[in-house]
Structure 1
Amino acid sequence: MKVRAIMGALCAAGLMCGAAAAQAAEQVEVLHWWTSGGESKAIGVLKDDLQKQGYVWKDFAVAGGAGAAAMTALKTQVIAGNAPSAAQIKGPLIQDWASQGVLVNIDSAATDWKKELPPEIDKIMHADGHYVAAPFSVHRVNWLYINKAALDKAGGKVPTTWAEFFTVADKMKAAGIQPIAMGGQPWQDLTLWEDVVLSQGADFYKKALVDLDQKTLTSPQMAQVFDTVRKIQGYFDSGRTGRDWNLATAMVINGKAGMQFMGDWAKGEFANAGKKSGSDYICAAVPGTEKAYTFNVDSFVFFQQKGQSAATPGQLALAKTIMSPGFQEQFSLYKGSIPVRLGVSMAKFDDCAKKSYADEQAAIKAGGYVPSLAHGMAQADATAGAISDVVTKFMNSQEDTKTAVEALAKAAKTK
């Protein structure tokens, strides 16, 4: 009681309880959609790091792999004048929010970021010449995960072409193994489809999904993409409708299925289950995409808070923590990604992550480093959504390839 009385007197005298006490009391509300095992463990690192600095973490987690539900919740909060301190957003959507005048710049926390980030990523974090977002990590989307025991049982080899892939799938099927684990949500359909687009070459991918070139979108190669996707579907199980991505990953982890097309966040699920790359599972580039890399970068953007025109101490602390080498390393070790910050040691990472890093650097130099359409990096929501609708309709109906190609070209004109 005496201690409290003394502290109270000092506060009244203005000798204590200044900036440090105000800082310690600041609540930082964070909206995100990292709710699966590996993901929640990764976000827990950030929560712990921020709380050690004296801030109060208020978790605003909204389940849903692609973040659609989270974005709906965010819009509701912003419209109501109750925006979170930070929210998980990426790609062109960052600039969309900035154009509405609801973000704060975090330049004072980003003094060295320009030299610490790949140029393709650095520019995405800006709006009107200022940093408004902090990137967490880089995910490679074009991965194929293979249960090693299933591959060995089937007597197959890691496929590098579609012909080899279908041979392996047939062998697994003959051995009584479900060849492909697939979820049943639009973003998962689009992930697989863009993988097949990428297998036609990085230049083809960029012309089709970044430039939205009509000639490319209606080409025989694009028709081949839809034909290949249709053939891949023949190896799905009948229970995929509505299935979350991590449940499909669990099928591969448990040996109920042989392979899964999914970004490297799936690796966090393998790690969380105690599985090791090389001995328990294999991560390989999707057939035909070895020299290319579709990137997906998660970021937090920072919203104006009530009565504040600039970033709060808690927001700046959050941004600095996200980009610190120690956090970048630990977060990616749990998440299955690789650090977005350049120069972070890869010594503690597994073979899959080391391959991801090596392939990323090679793809950047070779011009094969491309933004993922399925994961919000390549196009604005309206265009990406229209293309997603075309792909999902094709994959959930008996629609013919010609009709799908025509619908794709039309969808690409959506603004």
Structure 2
Amino acid sequence: MKKISSLVVGALCGACVMAAQAASEDIEIMHWWTSGGEAKALDELKSRLKGAGYRWKDMAVEGGGGDKAMETLQARVSRGQPPEAAQMNGASIQSWGRQKALANLDAVAKEQQWESQIPAVVTRGLKVDGHFVAAPFNIHRANWLWINRDAFVKYAGRTPETWDQFFVMADRMKTAGILPIAHGSQPWQNFALFETVLLGVGGVDTYRRALIALDNEAIQSPKVEEALKVFRRLKSYTDGAAANDRNWNAATAMVVNNKAAMQFMGDWAKGEFFAAGKAADRDFLCIAPPGTQRSFLFIVDSFAVFKKGADEATAAQKTLARLIMTPSFQQAFNLAKGSVPLSANVDMAKFDVCGQQSSAYFVATSMVDTLVPSVAFHMALPVEQETALKNLVSEFWSNDAMPVAEAVRRIQRIRAIGTKDQH
């Protein structure tokens, strides 16, 4: 008995030592999820990491739709001090991967069968040289229009399927003294609005050719000119200079609190409605912006893991990735975030009507090839080209004197920027 007791005690003590070692290990994570709905979603991961014996070391960088975070990350990596993981989207993952900075997650991907759960169009963005280097949280649809239900009932009458119908509805709101569009005039928000408009005006083919391929012929097409005109017209339905540097969640709050009728924003905006106790269909509506009903502008939120000596991810990084792709976490996180799960093993019954619609559209558009990556959210272009586009579109938004033809010519010139970094 004494021998058995000694073995038991020894085993327990060994477990205690291992637990203590794990508990003493920090895992530093850089992200830009700081708004109410985003923070609530992230708390789910923090809790699960704690349960696995790791301490979350927060490196939150607010604002800029991730642009400021990427600047901070670059500075940290330049000093040889990368975090264990960082929030990233497709093109950023590829850029860091080309710099040989990211660690290998193939073992976790094989264990959890990521390949069979995630569409190939998404996995391509999570891999570098054929190896997984990032764990995906979700799929976001960027092309959503959020409408205060009371304003819709009073002034809309029906869902606008064309831009002409949209402007009729917006005019009714404006005449009644209601601010039609809540907007934050930051470069990323301006460009996110523009790419949605271009998708609606020009369709998937024009979007792919003009914004992703930066094809000169497509950029000079009448559809791009029309999209720029619609984009500029939308400005007259915002509160103008008051929107300067307004964060996206502050714009969402305007719709939540009956200060504005609508907002063009990705499905993360829904988390702000939920955090305020609002319900889909009862308090707000989610519809596809005009012309984008049969397309899906996608964003995948991921945590990429940085090398900490070896090429393969550390035990802590593997635990993080494993937790992210666990079906129960995917469900809990995305219910709070407003996005939808990537894991094919998640029951969608608990999701609201907007989430269920988004999931259904994701599956359908992937089958008919109208699933397209968002340029605004780092999914398609090298950072130099993306930044140049954002700055140009914002300048066009703020400078009413800039001719459409000049904007078109300057978009054409962006093709030559940063091309060496694409290979």
Q: TM-score, normalization: structure 1?
A: 0.94
Q: Give the equivalent residue in structure 2 for 1:380.
A: 382
Q: CA deviation at 1:338?
A: 0.4
- Which amino acid is the alignment partner of residue 328 of structure 1? Q
- Which amino acid is the alignment partner of residue 196 of structure 1? V
Cα distance in 2, alignment partners of residues 253 and 198 from structure 1: 26
Q: CA deviation at 1:21?
A: 4.1
Contact conserved, 1:144 with 1:283, CA < 8 A, in 2? yes
Cα distance in 2, alignment partners of residues 182 and 21 from structure 1: 48
Deviates more, 1:16-25 or 1:167-176: 16-25
Indicate the percent of aligned positions where both proteins have the same amino acid. 44
Contact conserved, 1:77 with 1:83, CA < 8 A, in 2? yes
Cα distance in 2, alignment partners of residues 309 and 362 from structure 1: 37
- Which amino acid is the alignment partner of residue 103 of structure 2? V
Cα distance in 1, alignment partners of residues 195 and 391 from structure 2: 13
Q: Give the equivalent residue in structure 1 for 2:412.
A: 409
Q: CA deviation at 1:386?
A: 1.3
Q: 1:317 aligns with which of 312, 316, 319?
A: 319
Q: Give the equivalent residue in structure 2 for 1:262.
A: 265
Q: Give the equivalent residue in structure 2 for 1:3.
A: none
Cα distance in 2, alignment partners of residues 358 and 128 from structure 1: 31
Cα distance in 2, alignment partners of residues 16 and 143 from structure 1: 50
Change (3 A) 1:115 1:133: same
- Which amino acid is the alignment partner of residue 108 of structure 1? A
Q: CA deviation at 1:310?
A: 3.0
Contact conserved, 2:104 with 2:311, CA < 8 A, in 1? no
| Residue 101 of structure 1 pairs with residue 103 of structure 2 | no
Q: 2:235 aligns with which of 233, 239, 255?
A: 233
- Which amino acid is the alignment partner of residue 343 of structure 2? R
| Residue 196 of structure 1 pairs with residue 197 of structure 2 | yes
Q: Give the equivalent residue in structure 2 for 1:342.
A: 344
SS for the counterpart of 1:339 is coil
Q: 2:211 aligns with which of 209, 212, 218?
A: 209
Q: CA deviation at 1:309?
A: 4.7
SS for the counterpart of 1:187 is helix
Q: CA deviation at 1:243?
A: 0.6
Q: Give the equivalent residue in structure 2 for 1:85.
A: 84
Cα distance in 2, alignment partners of residues 334 and 412 from structure 1: 38
Q: Residues 346-361 of structure 1 correspond to what in structure 2 (within 5 A)?
A: 346-361=348-363
Contact conserved, 1:387 with 1:412, CA < 8 A, in 2? no
Cα distance in 2, alignment partners of residues 15 and 346 from structure 1: 41
Contact conserved, 1:386 with 1:412, CA < 8 A, in 2? no
SS for the counterpart of 2:65 is coil
| Residue 389 of structure 1 pairs with residue 391 of structure 2 | yes
Q: Give the equivalent residue in structure 1 for 2:370.
A: 368
Q: Deviations over 1:313-357 (max 9, x none)?
A: 111000000011011111110100000122311100000011111
Q: Give the equivalent residue in structure 2 for 1:252.
A: 255
| Residue 41 of structure 1 pairs with residue 40 of structure 2 | yes
Cα distance in 1, alignment partners of residues 45 and 273 from structure 2: 21
Contact conserved, 1:106 with 1:131, CA < 8 A, in 2? yes
Q: Give the equivalent residue in structure 2 for 1:133.
A: 134
SS for the counterpart of 1:412 is helix
Contact conserved, 1:23 with 1:313, CA < 8 A, in 2? no
Deviates more, 1:71-80 or 1:142-151: 71-80
Cα distance in 2, alignment partners of residues 70 and 281 from structure 1: 31
| Residue 331 of structure 1 pairs with residue 333 of structure 2 | yes
SS for the counterpart of 2:137 is strand
SS for the counterpart of 2:116 is helix
Cα distance in 1, alignment partners of residues 14 and 50 from structure 2: 25
Deviates more, 1:68-77 or 1:282-291: 68-77
Q: CA deviation at 1:24?
A: 3.2
SS for the counterpart of 1:60 is strand
Cα distance in 1, alignment partners of residues 286 and 41 from structure 2: 20
Q: CA deviation at 1:308?
A: 4.7
SS for the counterpart of 1:31 is strand
Aligned CA RMSD, in angstroms, stands at: 1.8
Q: Deviations over 1:228-248 (max 9, x none)?
A: 111111111131011111111
Q: CA deviation at 1:19?
A: 4.7
Cα distance in 2, alignment partners of residues 72 and 144 from structure 1: 30
Q: CA deviation at 1:65?
A: 4.1
Contact conserved, 1:50 with 1:57, CA < 8 A, in 2? yes
Change (3 A) 1:16 1:227: closer
Cα distance in 2, alignment partners of residues 167 and 155 from structure 1: 8
Deviates more, 1:341-350 or 1:178-187: 341-350
Cα distance in 1, alignment partners of residues 351 and 16 from structure 2: 43
Q: Give the equivalent residue in structure 2 for 1:143.
A: 144
Q: Residues 42-61 of structure 1 correspond to what in structure 2 (within 5 A)?
A: 42-61=41-60
SS for the counterpart of 2:138 is strand
Cα distance in 2, alignment partners of residues 182 and 366 from structure 1: 32
Contact conserved, 1:186 with 1:389, CA < 8 A, in 2? yes
Q: Deviations over 1:350-381 (max 9, x none)?
A: 00011111111111111110000111101110
What count of residue pairs does the alignment treat as equivalent? 407
- Which amino acid is the alignment partner of residue 411 of structure 2? L
SS for the counterpart of 1:409 is helix
Change (3 A) 1:402 1:15: closer
